[in-house]
Chain A
Amino acid sequence: MHDAIHDAVSVSWAREKIFLGQSLGEYVRGLVTPWNAVAALILAAGLPVIAYRFAFGLGAATNLSQTNPWGIWIGIDVLSGVALAAGGYTLASTVYLFGLKQYYPVLRAAVLTGFLGYFFVVVGLLVDLGRPWRIPYPVIYSYGVTSVMFLVAWHVFLYLTVQFLEFCPAIFEWLGWRTVRAWAARLTIGATVFGVILSTLHQSALGALFLMAPGKVHPLWYSPFIPVYFFVSSVVAGLAMVIVESALSHRIFRDQLEPGRHADLDRITLGLGKAAAVVLFTYFFLKLIGLADGDHWALLTTPLGGWFLVELVGFVLVPCFLFAHGARERRVRAVRVAAALAVAGIVVNRVNVSLVALNWNVAERYLPSWMEVMTTVTIVTLGILTFRWIVNRMPVLRDHPAYPALH
């Protein structure tokens, strides 16, 4: 008798919280969609590949070598992943520290993107590390305090915690834990300030990693300013990702939005675009200063110099002007195209620094194996699926009825 009541309660809890108010059968039938089929295919191919990597080692699964010890799992999953997850600290400081409350409607999604971004960076890192179970060693066992990587390890660990705390209010609203939620909300300002400090340091530290390889990184990308480049471009990455992610979310999760939110989003997009134009221009200017500082103008006529210009013009200056044009002429579409281009530009930059410019002067070059590509695609897919799972359940895009929000 008692058990029966208990079962009924847990079934209805699962039905309400997990199955979106449907029965298990309805829920499963609802999952059969074309995009889910694509995702299922990717996972069906990708998860065995990841299992293969752990069963047979990095040599069997990757094209990494003694000369090229880092591949796309570092260049894309970690370096690009961390930069593109910068929306969390960028938007949190906009809303809470600068007090620009009109950006609140996209904040939670940005914090969630940031948290999941870091979470899947760690997943990518676990696949890449030779001895992944030792990942907590720099935090609990042996402290290599002279290492930039030590700083990165600590900060990613702390920032993952901070982002989780920042997202906690949404989780507690979903669970209906009022008191805990109130406590979590009180941490907001402290967590935001702490998050900005951590992000400043580890975003730039990821660039500083390459300071250690002066003879190996091509002079056009090797600069004493590289930590500054990584930090400033992470702000662009954060803003651009929020624009891209919110545009997609508003199309995909249309049913969750109250009428009027689209007009809000247009205003927000234009505002973010304006900010992105300013930061991107600063970044362009800093890159020019670096070029002048190193006196590398002559290298611009070499093939890699041409590629450097493609990055600097095509993925920095063009989106910069497109952002400015869109914000000025109030063309939301132009801002979104610029944001997509800027996001691509961040990946191009991180791949350039870590894979193209690194070991440019060595005969043996690296190209990823298909298993490395498949693993990266799988991890990105897992990230998107987790994002969707959470948005469908927790108050991320919509407000929880019990907690009227700012917008």
Chain B
Amino acid sequence: MDVNRRAFLKLAGGAGVASAAGAAAVVTRPRRASAAVRHGDDAVGMLVDTTRCVGCRACEAACSETHRLPAPAMLGQDTVFAKVRRTESTSYTVVNRFAAAAEGGAAGAPAAVRFVKTQCMHCVDPACASACLVKALEKTPEGPVVYHRDRCIGCRYCMVACPFGVPAFEYEKVLPYVTKCTFCVERQQQSQAPACATVCPSGALTFGTRKALLETAKTRIYRDAERYVHHVYGEREAGGTSWLYITDVPFEQVGFRTDVPMRPFPELTWTFLSAVPFVLMLWPPFLMGLYTFSRERREARPATEAERTRETTHA
């Protein structure tokens, strides 16, 4: 094959530029979300002690009032607990009632009634934030996972990604947004505790730094080791969450997903994303090489006049 210098430079240059772009992507690849947001000792969290919750739903009412949402349905009515509810576009937190066998209880003992509050867990390294293609969801160093509605395109991948089934979508609206618990980030900026923690009458909610709350949770478990399940839900689930739960009945009996992997969710797609620059680097030289060989093979046999005209029109 007659490779003149110009043709060679053209080929090599094309492959080189494409590979260099790939290499640049390797060098300047974005650091992982977890690396960018180091969860400091003073990042906030919330401890939910389900043994103390009385199911009054004052937290639901306070949440709706703070976020100017419609008042919770069937407030003060027991029938609301007939079926398990989830967070909706108009309710950022819900309290559910479960009947569960107490941990130390004998077989046949009457079922214990437990109430569990559900809202965004504010993961230390959130799946939703790493899944969002426009950074509409973002983990703040202070702790809350916040939503920038001005960026959201409404693809709902965050809802698929969230292992706790938290983000909701305003399906009922023509111009919808995603909604979820904000951890009352505005109140926190004014040195106020989240609305739910402020109104909780039974001491089920404790607001503080995540680090201190973990110690509180473990202290309660150690002091009453017979009663509590020896696990702080959220310490390691999905790589850790800002909201922590302790309970005296098995977690799976009171609505918790116990199949959530104990690793940060962004890691799940990180393996794939870190392969991207290598495809960008290795494909161009490989494909250009393949092209050069196949052209050489074709040109090795004598071409007819007709074939030559084709080459010029179809290069």
Q: Are A204 and B133 in contact (CB under 8 A)?
A: no
Q: Are A58 and B176 in contact (CB under 8 A)?
A: yes
B152: which of A56, A130, A143, A205 is its contact (CB, 8 Å)? Answer: A130
* Stretch of B52-60, B157-165, B206-214 with 4 or more beta carbons under 8 angstroms from chain A: B157-165
Q: Are B151 and A137 in contact (CB under 8 A)?
A: yes
**Taking CB as reference atom, which chain A residue is nearest B148?**
A142
Q: Are B131 and A147 in contact (CB under 8 A)?
A: yes
Q: Are B134 and A141 in contact (CB under 8 A)?
A: yes
CB contacts (< 8 Å) of A211 on chain B: these are 268-269, 272
Q: Are A99 and B176 in contact (CB under 8 A)?
A: no
Q: How far is the CA of A205 from the CA of B268 in the complex (A)?
A: 13
The yes or no answer to A406 lying at the interface (CB within 8 A) is yes
CB contacts (< 8 Å) of B33 on chain A: these are 146
- A59 in contact with B171 given A131-B176, A208-B269 (CB within 8 Å): yes
- A190 in contact with B14 given A144-B135, A215-B260 (CB within 8 Å): yes
- A212 in contact with B268 given A145-B30, A149-B133, A405-B310 (CB within 8 Å): yes
CB contacts (< 8 Å) of A141 on chain B: these are 134, 151
B130: which of A147, A193, A210 is its contact (CB, 8 Å)? Answer: A147
Q: Are B132 and A147 in contact (CB under 8 A)?
A: yes
Q: How far is the CA of A62 from the CA of B154 in the complex (A)?
A: 15
The yes or no answer to A148 lying at the interface (CB within 8 A) is yes
The yes or no answer to B273 lying at the interface (CB within 8 A) is yes
Q: Are B314 and A405 in contact (CB under 8 A)?
A: yes
A149: which of B155, B170, B171, B268 is its contact (CB, 8 Å)? Answer: B155
The yes or no answer to B252 lying at the interface (CB within 8 A) is no
- A57 in contact with B284 given A66-B87, A149-B131, A213-B160 (CB within 8 Å): no
- The minimal Cβ–Cβ distance linking B22 to chain A, given in whole angstroms, is 9
The yes or no answer to B153 lying at the interface (CB within 8 A) is yes
* Stretch of B189-197, B243-251, B293-301 with 4 or more beta carbons under 8 angstroms from chain A: B293-301
The yes or no answer to A310 lying at the interface (CB within 8 A) is no
Chain B window 5-17, contacts with chain A (Cβ cutoff 8 Å), 1 for yes, 0 for no = 0000000001000
CB contacts (< 8 Å) of A200 on chain B: these are 279, 283
* Stretch of A15-23, A181-189, A287-295 with 4 or more beta carbons under 8 angstroms from chain B: A181-189
- The minimal Cβ–Cβ distance linking B273 to chain A, given in whole angstroms, is 7
- The minimal Cβ–Cβ distance linking B299 to chain A, given in whole angstroms, is 10
The yes or no answer to B223 lying at the interface (CB within 8 A) is no
B276: which of A134, A188, A201 is its contact (CB, 8 Å)? Answer: A201
The yes or no answer to B39 lying at the interface (CB within 8 A) is no
The yes or no answer to B315 lying at the interface (CB within 8 A) is yes
Interface size of A by CB at 8 A reads: 72
Q: Are B153 and A135 in contact (CB under 8 A)?
A: yes
The yes or no answer to B142 lying at the interface (CB within 8 A) is no
**Taking CB as reference atom, which chain B residue is nearest A143?**
B135
Q: Are B261 and A214 in contact (CB under 8 A)?
A: yes
Q: Are B154 and A193 in contact (CB under 8 A)?
A: no
Q: Are B295 and A148 in contact (CB under 8 A)?
A: no
Q: How far is the CA of A190 from the CA of B283 in the complex (A)?
A: 12
Q: How far is the CA of A150 from the CA of B269 in the complex (A)?
A: 12
Residues 120-159 (chain B) with a chain A CB within 8 angstroms: 127, 129-136, 151-157, 159
- A67 in contact with B86 given A93-B287, A99-B298 (CB within 8 Å): yes
CB contacts (< 8 Å) of B163 on chain A: these are 213-216
Residues 108-151 (chain A) with a chain B CB within 8 angstroms: 128-132, 134-135, 137-138, 141-151
The yes or no answer to B169 lying at the interface (CB within 8 A) is yes
The yes or no answer to B225 lying at the interface (CB within 8 A) is no
The yes or no answer to A70 lying at the interface (CB within 8 A) is yes
The yes or no answer to A36 lying at the interface (CB within 8 A) is no
The yes or no answer to A373 lying at the interface (CB within 8 A) is no
CB contacts (< 8 Å) of A143 on chain B: these are 134-135
Q: Are A196 and B130 in contact (CB under 8 A)?
A: no
CB contacts (< 8 Å) of B172 on chain A: these are 57, 59
Q: Are B131 and A131 in contact (CB under 8 A)?
A: no
Q: Are B290 and A97 in contact (CB under 8 A)?
A: yes
**Taking CB as reference atom, which chain A residue is nearest B306?**
A404
The yes or no answer to B291 lying at the interface (CB within 8 A) is yes
The yes or no answer to A35 lying at the interface (CB within 8 A) is no
**Taking CB as reference atom, which chain A residue is nearest B135?**
A144
Q: Are A69 and B174 in contact (CB under 8 A)?
A: no
A131: which of B154, B283, B294, B313 is its contact (CB, 8 Å)? Answer: B154
Chain A window 38-80, contacts with chain B (Cβ cutoff 8 Å), 1 for yes, 0 for no = 0000000000000000111111001011110110000000000
**Taking CB as reference atom, which chain A residue is nearest B289?**
A97
Q: Are B152 and A185 in contact (CB under 8 A)?
A: no
CB contacts (< 8 Å) of B160 on chain A: these are 69-70, 209-210, 212-213, 216, 358
Q: How far is the CA of A48 from the CA of B214 in the complex (A)?
A: 56
CB contacts (< 8 Å) of A144 on chain B: these are 132-136
CB contacts (< 8 Å) of B177 on chain A: these are 130
- A99 in contact with B310 given A57-B174, A193-B283, A197-B18 (CB within 8 Å): no
CB contacts (< 8 Å) of A97 on chain B: these are 287, 290-291, 294
**Taking CB as reference atom, which chain A residue is nearest B284?**
A193
A138: which of B18, B86, B133, B154 is its contact (CB, 8 Å)? Answer: B133
Q: How far is the CA of A104 from the CA of B298 in the complex (A)?
A: 15
Q: List 7 extra interface pairs beyond A134-B151, A189-B14, A192-B287, CB under 8 A.
A: A67-B86, A130-B152, A137-B134, A196-B283, A197-B284, A212-B268, A213-B163
The 3 lowest CB-CB distance pairs between A and B, nearest first, are: A130-B154, A99-B294, A59-B171
Query: A residues within 8 Å of B by Cβ?
Result: 54-59, 62, 64-67, 69-70, 93, 96-99, 101, 104, 128-132, 134-135, 137-138, 141-153, 185-186, 188-190, 192-194, 196-197, 200-201, 204-205, 208-216, 224, 227, 358, 403-406
